[in-house]
């Protein structure tokens, strides 16, 4: 990359143009179309102007009917170039006085100026012309434009377009209509952000009586301050007598000699477009058109519309038009908000039902494996709660045992469908999360954040169900102590059955009148009887103890499964709600940052 290219890329204008373009792109679909269109138009104008002659400064003379604009144009140029007459309007098409013809053609083509008057001699001024040095330092183009309140619609359209293209704005006012509210509200005020490239001229001062000029200048400066141009100098001139014309030439020459007017103009346009974007968001509305050129277009509507506002523009309100504050940065959703969202979604998705089913299923299976064998079969008469939820299979919910779940996650539970209360709870949780994330955002962006949060509303229930189905809940999986307790139960039953068989054999022998051998005795209790009683009691005690242990183990497993299910639901919430909302919040923050850079 060349040095010239690197330097160009780092200029403030390029930086702010890039920031405005980034803000426009980030705001697409979120800011009013009129504001976005104005930003795009500014970018297009800037691109075109920067590709044309940087050696020429384009100065446009803007004025109302009867302000003596064309006469002043001729006086400044020192030549009778523009037609002047008593009939009005006299200027029907732009007229260009060109100093430094070379390179001006494409620029004038873009301005759509056909009447071009190349001038070889320097602009009349003391000390060697306009630039006070050799005129080859650069070019100058003076434009005499139609009246902005012309009765001809094409004239008003031409002036509206030129207001968005020239490098320097020269507002030509006259003592009769300098305070016209329409002039200030419709024309000067919308362009107040372009003060750096604005000159204000009070023409026809020869028509004022002695002592009237100073009060008129004070009044005009006050009106301009309300328009957003505080401290701007007002040049009193008379095209008829030549008074003040030399000073106006010098002012134009100073601006032209600096060769920064085009850049200053574009910087002001970028700031105005950024203000429009910020203002559109601050208003929480979709205005028809809000930028300076759009507002000027309203001023150049049907001829005479502004006349009703004639009179002193004072007291008509603040004029600068810049939004009170730029969009501020939002904080992305924090972990606490995400956790509350996941908890509410878990409750709405039936996680509590699954956790209770896991606990009850564990206790049922534990009883079937460790209960007293004589009555344990009664527990199997109760349905398995996990089987009813289609969650009983060990492989079903285990991603380790069923790797296909990692790829498809198409399993579903048989949980009861969410009722109105559950759906309302889920919707409320999503809405509360979105509203918390959008706190402080403009209305249009709050709506965008809500849309991002609800973007997966139709598929969210199915995703939550799949997340529950894909979670390893340990269905059908026993505990290490089950086999030990089962062996002890069967041993106790075997002892009891052996004692019962022994006693039964002795009873049969006695019934058949066979000699009955004496049974061994321990502490006065026959061994067969002791075996029967001890086996039965041991089985019952083991069953009761196993039940106590099973309840504790079931509660522990339920807590583990609850954590896993909540984590699975949190994963769905993070992917389908939290991430889209965070992306939208980050998009807004990038928009606000780009807008701040563009506004300068």
Give the tens place of pLDDT for each residue, 168-208: 999 999 998 888 887 888 888 888 888 889 999 999 999 99
Contact present, 499 and 528 (Cβ < 8 Å) = yes
Residues 6+ apart with CB under 8 A from 139: 53, 55, 56, 57, 98, 99, 100, 101, 102, 103, 104
Handedness of CA 523, 525, 527, 529 (dihedral sign): negative
Statement: residue 307 has pLDDT above 60? no
Instruction: Please report which confidence band the pLDDT of residue 288 belongs to, taking 50, 70 and 90 as the band edges.
Output: very low
Residue 358, pLDDT score: 82
- Nearest Cα residue to 70 out of 155, 177, 172, 159: 172
Statement: residue 397 has pLDDT above 50? no
Statement: residue 286 has pLDDT above 90? no
What's the rounded mean pLDDT across residues 301-324? 41
410 vs 158: which has the higher pLDDT = 158
Residues 6+ apart with CB under 8 A from 84: 70, 71, 74, 90
What CATH number does domain 56-259+289-309 carry, 3.40.50.300, 3.30.70.20, 3.30.2010.10, 3.30.930.10? 3.40.50.300
Residue 184, pLDDT score: 87
What's the rounded mean pLDDT across residues 576-589? 91
- The CA distances from residue 60 to 170, 265, 402, in Å, are 6, 12, 77
Instruction: Outline where DSSP puts E strands in 46-103.
Output: 56-63, 95-99
Q: What is the mean pLDDT of the chain?
A: 80
Statement: residue 215 has pLDDT above 60? yes
What's the rounded mean pLDDT across residues 38-65? 92
What's the rounded mean pLDDT across residues 296-317? 40
pLDDT above 90 covers what percent of the chain? 26
Strand 525-526, strand 521-522: pairing = antiparallel
Stated pTM of the model: 0.75
Instruction: Please report which confidence band the pLDDT of residue 90 belongs to, taking 50, 70 and 90 as the band edges.
Output: low
Q: What is the domain partition of the chain in residue ranges?
A: 56-259+289-309, 336-489+561-599
Q: What whole-number distance in Å separates Cα of residue 187 and Cα of residue 181?
A: 10
The predicted-structure confidence for 504-549, as pLDDT tens digits, reads as follows 888 888 888 788 788 888 888 888 888 888 888 988 888 888 889 8
pLDDT above 70 covers what percent of the chain? 80
Instruction: Please report which confidence band the pLDDT of residue 417 belongs to, taking 50, 70 and 90 as the band edges.
Output: low
């Amino acid at each position: 990359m060349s040095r010239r290219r690197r330097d160009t890329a780092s200029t403030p204008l390029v930086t702010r143009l890039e920031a405005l373009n980034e803000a426009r792109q980030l705001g697409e679909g979120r800011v009013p179309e009129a504001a976005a269109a104005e930003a795009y138009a500014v970018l297009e104008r800037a691109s075109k102007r920067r590709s044309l002659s940087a050696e020429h400064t384009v100065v446009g003379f803007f004025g109302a009917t009867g302000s003596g604009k064309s006469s002043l144009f001729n006086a400044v140029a020192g030549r009778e170039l523009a037609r002047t007459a008593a009939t009005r309007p006299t200027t029907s098409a732009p007229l260009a006085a060109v100093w430094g013809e070379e390179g001006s053609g494409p620029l004038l083509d873009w301005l759509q100026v056909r009447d071009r008057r190349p001038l070889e001699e320097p602009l009349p001024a003391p000390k060697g012309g306009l630039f006070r040095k050799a005129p080859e330092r650069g070019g100058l183009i003076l434009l005499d434009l139609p009246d902005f309140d012309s009765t001809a619609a094409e004239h008003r359209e031409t002036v509206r377009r030129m207001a968005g293209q020239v490098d320097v704005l020269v507002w030509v006012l006259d003592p009769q209509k300098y305070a016209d509210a329409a002039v200030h509200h419709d024309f000067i005020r919308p362009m107040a952000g372009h003060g750096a490239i604005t000159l204000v001229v009070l023409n026809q001062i020869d028509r004022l009586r002695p002592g009237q000029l100073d009060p008129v200048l004070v009044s005009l400066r006050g009106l301009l301050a309300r328009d957003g141009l505080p401290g701007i100098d007002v040049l009193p001139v008379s095209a008829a007598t030549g008074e003040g014309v030399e000073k106006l030439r010098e002012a134009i020459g100073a601006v032209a000699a600096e060769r920064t007017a085009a850049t200053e103009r574009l910087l002001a346009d970028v700031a105005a477009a950024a203000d429009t974007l910020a203002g559109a968001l601050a208003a929480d509305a979709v205005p028809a058109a809000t930028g300076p050129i759009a507002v000027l277009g309203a001023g150049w509507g049907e001829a005479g519309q502004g006349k009703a506002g004639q009179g002193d523009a004072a007291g008509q309100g603040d004029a600068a038009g810049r939004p009170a504050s730029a969009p501020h940065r939002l904080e992305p959703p924090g972990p606490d908000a995400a956790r509350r969202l996941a908890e509410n979604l878990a409750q709405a998705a039936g996680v509590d039902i699954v956790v209770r089913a896991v606990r009850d299923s564990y206790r049922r299976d534990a009883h079937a494996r460790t209960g007293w064998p004589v009555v344990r079969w009664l527990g199997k008469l109760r349905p398995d709660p996990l089987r009813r939820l289609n969650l009983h299979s060990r492989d079903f919910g285990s991603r380790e045992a069923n790797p296909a779940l990692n790829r498809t996650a198409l399993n579903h539970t048989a949980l009861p469908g969410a009722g109105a209360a559950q759906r309302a709870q889920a919707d409320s949780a999503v809405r509360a999360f979105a509203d918390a994330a959008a706190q402080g955002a403009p209305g249009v962006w709050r709506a965008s954040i809500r849309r991002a949060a609800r973007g997966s509303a139709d598929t969210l229930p199915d995703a939550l169900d799949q997340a529950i189905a894909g979670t390893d809940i340990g269905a059908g999986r026993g505990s290490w102590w089950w086999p030990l307790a089962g062996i002890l139960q069967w041993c106790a039953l075997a002892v009891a059955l052996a004692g019962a068989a022994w006693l039964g054999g002795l009873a049969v022998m006695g019934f058949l009148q066979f000699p009955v051998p004496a049974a061994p005795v321990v502490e006065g209790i026959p061994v067969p009887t002791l075996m029967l009683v001890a086996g039965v009691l041991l089985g019952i005690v083991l069953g009761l103890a196993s039940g106590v242990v099973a309840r504790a183990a079931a509660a522990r497993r339920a807590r583990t499964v609850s954590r896993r299910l909540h984590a699975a639901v949190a994963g769905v919430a993070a992917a389908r709600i939290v991430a889209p909302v965070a992306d939208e919040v980050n998009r807004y923050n990038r928009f606000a940052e780009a807008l701040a850079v563009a506004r300068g």
